[in-house]
Amino acid sequence: MQDCIFCKIINKQIPSNIVYEDEKIISFYDVNPMADIHVLIVPKVHVESINELNESTLESVKYAFSKIPEIAESLGIKDSGYRTIINTGKDAGQTVKHLHIHILGGSKLPEKLV
């Protein structure tokens, strides 16, 4: 996807602060952190949002989820806890149209989600 900022990060056309990468996913720090630790986990396959998932692309999201504990541990927040968020569409404030999981932690998060 030519104009997708996360595809550009995946293709190393723009830099990011990578915390984990393999052939299926990439994880990097959010450029505008909303918590002490805020990273994104991004399946490398371009899928706009949860609404566009199919059986095949769901596999990459499942794989991304399976890697959350390992990535959280590497960030030192596995046991202290963290919040996972996936925004879908306008009302949720999704700004990047490439499905991604937010991981937020590093200190006590607000109890209210919204």
Active site residues: 100
* 78: Cα within 13 Å, side-chain hemisphere: 10
58 binds, options ligand 5GP, Zn ion, none, Cβ within 5 to 8 A by partner type: none
Burial track 55-66 (b if 16+ CB lie within 10 A, e otherwise): eeeeebbeebee
42 binds, options Zn ion, ligand 5GP, none, Cβ within 5 to 8 A by partner type: none
Looking at residue 58, its amino acid is L
* CB 83, min distance to ligand 5GP, A: 13
Distances (CA, A) of 88 to 53, 106, 111: 12, 24, 21
CA dihedral 17, 5, 23, 40 (to 10 degrees): 50
Q: Does 109 bind ligand 5GP (CB under 6 A)?
A: no
Kindly indicate which of the ranges 52-60, 75-83, 93-101, 104-112 contains the residues binding ligand 5GP, using the contact rule CB under 6 A. Answer: 93-101
Q: Does 102 bind Zn ion (CB under 5 A)?
A: no
1 binds, options ligand 5GP, Zn ion, none, Cβ within 5 to 8 A by partner type: Zn ion
44-63 residues near Zn ion, rule: CB under 5 A: 46
Tell me which residue of 103, 93, 113, 114 sits closest to 35, measured CA to CA.
103
Site for ligand 5GP, rule CB under 6 A: 5, 16, 28-32, 87, 93-96
